[in-house]
Structure 1
Amino acid sequence: MAPKQLNFITGNKNKLTEVKAILGDTVDLQSQSLDLVEIQGTIEEISADKCRRAADIVCFTV
């Protein structure tokens, strides 16, 4: 069975390297850098907002 694809949106190369090291070959990790404005709010609010906007831009689940 092929690994599931994970679309990881980040411009931070170190963060991408860490995620690849943690997940290994368990997922097909695709990455893309987007310049998204960060709203003020809780960590949960910021994450949810950035995920919604990133998904709208790239037209797939992030």
Structure 2
Amino acid sequence: MYWKISAYSDIYGKIRKIESSETLTDGQKREKVREAKAILNGIQKNALGTVEVYQDTVSKSI
């Protein structure tokens, strides 16, 4: 789980760098930020998918 948090944080850092870049055009920035946000969405979906597994495990052990 920690790697997800770390990856999430790293990607947000990259987004900040992209947005503050002086060498990229606005169009390039939008494209790169869109790509990074798609990765973030994938991480979120994966995390949400594992919540049910954890809930099932906990409810079985109670």
- TM-score normalised by length of structure 1: 0.35
- TM-score normalised by length of structure 2: 0.35
User: Whose helix proportion is higher, 1 or 2?
Assistant: 2
User: Whose strand proportion is higher, 1 or 2?
Assistant: 1
